[in-house]
Chains A and B, each alone.
Chain A
Amino acid sequence: MSAMSKQRKNIFYVFLVVVATIGKVVISFLESMGKFAVFLTNLLLSIVIPPYYPRQIVSQFMEIGYFSLPVVALTTVFAGMVLALQIRSGMGSMSSESLVAPIVSIGILRELSPVLAGLMVAGRVGASMAAELGTMKVTEQVDALVTLSTNPMKYLIRPRVIAGTIALPLLIIIGDIIGVLGGYLVSIYRLHMNIGLYLQATLSNLVMLDLSIGIVKGLCFGFIITVLSCYHGLSSSGGAKGVGKATTNAVVASSISILFCNYIVTGFMV
């Protein structure tokens, strides 16, 4: 009898621990969502209030846009090349210029170039942004800004978000061109297709939507990556370890968020 009640007590105890753990996770999730919402509101409220720090915007634009060009070019060119090969192999004898060319450009313009550029920038820029801001936070440089009459939101965050939101659509347009070029090179030089027919099939099937999807995605991804990376960077605490954690969180959160956003935007636009 008493053994039985003891067992029941144990089960009850385990149950309590499980509930408490779930509760803790939920609460900390809600807490971080709340903090993020406050951060985002502050950013958006400050968006029209000067000063604008144009030098910061330009230097961030170089960092995010210009220095990401090589990785974006490399990933999109290979994506275009492999796409042409796969369509040829998958479609067999059906695959002519008029099939391969439009599929390559639709695939590149609408999906591969935006997503690859987004992921590359999330990895490259998201990590370095979170690490830089995180280091500034834990070494009290962010506090020092406040004591020197400068709002960190306007001086550190806003230039990065503006630069990222402008840079990504441009990167994606460049990725579009290079990716289509990759498909073209493989089709002509490896699959020995007809240059004239291929070019004509590419151009005649292009519609405005192909381009505008990429641009809308670029605007969204650029905003998401910079906002999340800045948020995680600025909320780091506890020295080098905290900065490392913030960096990882920034990259993971921005990668997942842009893939999710990619689906939403596609769903709305097509």
Chain B
Amino acid sequence: MLDNTNPLIELRDVKKHFGSKKILQGIDLKVNKGESLVIIGGSGTGKSVTLKCILGLLKPTSGEILYDGQRIDHLSLRKREDVNSKIGMLFQGGALFDSLSIWENISFGALAKKQVTQSTAKKLAIECLEKVGLDPLVANSYPSELSGGMQKRAGLARAIATNPEVILFDEPTTGLDPIMANVINDLIISVTKDLGSSAITITHDMNSALKIADRVAMLWDGRIIWQGTSQDVENTDNPYIQQFYQGCADGPIDWAKKKF
């Protein structure tokens, strides 16, 4: 396993309950600088909730979240903005602003942080479009005019436009054809390598996990039940990982027992 002494993001015993639903029951997780962590786990296990807790969009019921050694789980909204300006997020559904054109979407964060001026914003957007392999001509289109794959790429362009230290990807390849999924995987690898950013990627696509990950963590029943490198995933005899890897219906992960 990798050396975890100097983590950029650390979750300590994070719990999140919605009423009587106990979604996260004590997550312990570390992400080092420049590391690519992939979280796998079935749908509805709280993967998106974990990311939202890191971003401060949801408040953990208990536990600590640290960024660069500082507690960030109880910050005021204004201090929160400073932390969030170092984090980029690709949402599961893209979450592009549908009232703004693609280039306005991409340069939105950089404009908000005054990293660019109104006049250079479009140039930045076009650079980012090129990085994710989109034609600069789509800059003036609106999100609803793009296909699903193109929206994912535009969302990716928006996430990297502010040069974040960490990028969070929520199911970047779900709902895409296998070829487009691979394109997105490569994009994630290249943008994290280019920017030197850390990344947390959520997926339930094992191929994509093995491709992107320096380290894989498995979320099950509100806890991280296993962590290891991509190679460990293939060699481990952990029955949960085995089952997830092979996609069998039989095994310790019993969907029928889990109430959604």
- Give the B-binding residues of A (Cβ under 8 A): 132, 135-136, 139-141, 143-151
**Stretch touching chain A among B21-29, B31-39, B81-89, B215-223:** B81-89
Task: Provide the main secondary structure of the chain A interface.
Answer: helix
Distance (whole angstroms) from the CB of A143 to the closest CB of chain B? 5
Interchain CB contact under 8 A, B84 and A149? yes
14 additional A-B residue pairs with CB within 8 Å, beyond A143-B95, A149-B112: A132-B99, A140-B91, A143-B57, A143-B91, A144-B91, A144-B96, A146-B57, A147-B84, A147-B87, A148-B109, A149-B81, A149-B84, A149-B85, A151-B77
Contacts of A148 in B (CB 8 A): 84, 108-109, 112, 158, 162
Distance (whole angstroms) from the CB of B190 to the closest CB of chain A? 22
In whole angstroms, what is the CA distance A145 to B112 when docked? 10
Contacts of B93 in A (CB 8 A): 139-140
Contacts of A145 in B (CB 8 A): 97
Let me know if B52 is at the binding interface, CB within 8 A.
Answer: yes
Let me know if B234 is at the binding interface, CB within 8 A.
Answer: no
Contacts of B109 in A (CB 8 A): 147-150
Interchain CB contact under 8 A, A141 and B97? yes
Let me know if B12 is at the binding interface, CB within 8 A.
Answer: no
In whole angstroms, what is the CA distance A146 to B89 when docked? 10
Q: Which range holds the interface residue count of chain B?
A: 20 to 34
Contacts of A149 in B (CB 8 A): 81, 84-85, 109, 112-113
User: Could you pull out 23 A-B pairs where Cβ atoms are within 8 angstroms?
Assistant: A132-B99, A135-B98, A139-B93, A139-B95, A140-B91, A140-B92, A140-B93, A141-B96, A143-B52, A143-B91, A144-B89, A144-B91, A144-B96, A146-B80, A147-B55, A147-B57, A147-B84, A147-B87, A147-B88, A148-B108, A148-B112, A149-B84, A149-B113
Let me know if B46 is at the binding interface, CB within 8 A.
Answer: no
Contacts of B80 in A (CB 8 A): 146
In whole angstroms, what is the CA distance A146 to B57 when docked? 8
Interchain CB contact under 8 A, A150 and B112? yes
Contacts of B97 in A (CB 8 A): 136, 141, 144-145
Contacts of B57 in A (CB 8 A): 143, 146-147
Q: Tell me the nearest residue of chain A to B82, going by C-beta.
A: A149
Distance (whole angstroms) from the CB of A126 to the closest CB of chain B? 18
Let me know if B149 is at the binding interface, CB within 8 A.
Answer: no
Q: Tell me the nearest residue of chain B to A49, going by C-beta.
A: B78
Contacts of B112 in A (CB 8 A): 148-150
Let me know if B56 is at the binding interface, CB within 8 A.
Answer: yes
Contacts of A136 in B (CB 8 A): 97
Distance (whole angstroms) from the CB of A44 to the closest CB of chain B? 15
B:61-80 near A, CB below 8 Å: 77, 80
Contacts of A139 in B (CB 8 A): 93, 95, 98
Interchain CB contact under 8 A, A146 and B91? no
B:127-180 near A, CB below 8 Å: 158, 162
Contacts of A146 in B (CB 8 A): 55-57, 80, 84
Contacts of B98 in A (CB 8 A): 135, 139, 141
In whole angstroms, what is the CA distance A95 to B96 when docked? 62
Distance (whole angstroms) from the CB of A125 to the closest CB of chain B? 16
Contacts of B84 in A (CB 8 A): 146-149
In whole angstroms, what is the CA distance A149 to B112 when docked? 6
In whole angstroms, what is the CA distance A149 to B113 when docked? 7
Which of A132, A143, A148 lies at the interface centre, i.e. has the most chain B CB atoms within 10 A of its CB?
A148
In whole angstroms, what is the CA distance A143 to B98 when docked? 14
Distance (whole angstroms) from the CB of A234 to the closest CB of chain B? 13
Distance (whole angstroms) from the CB of B160 to the closest CB of chain A? 12
Distance (whole angstroms) from the CB of B182 to the closest CB of chain A? 25
In whole angstroms, what is the CA distance A143 to B95 when docked? 8
Could you give, for residues 104-121 of chain B, a 1 whenever the CB lies within 8 Å of some chain A CB and a 0 otherwise? Answer: 000011001100000000
Interchain CB contact under 8 A, A144 and B81? no
Contacts of B55 in A (CB 8 A): 143, 146-147
Q: Tell me the nearest residue of chain A to B92, going by C-beta.
A: A140
Contacts of B85 in A (CB 8 A): 149
Interchain CB contact under 8 A, A147 and B89? yes
Distance (whole angstroms) from the CB of A128 to the closest CB of chain B? 12
In whole angstroms, what is the CA distance A149 to B97 when docked? 14
Distance (whole angstroms) from the CB of B79 to the closest CB of chain A? 12
Interchain CB contact under 8 A, A140 and B95? yes
In whole angstroms, what is the CA distance A151 to B108 when docked? 13
In whole angstroms, what is the CA distance A135 to B112 when docked? 22
In whole angstroms, what is the CA distance A146 to B87 when docked? 11
Contacts of B56 in A (CB 8 A): 146
Contacts of B113 in A (CB 8 A): 149
Contacts of A144 in B (CB 8 A): 89, 91, 95-97
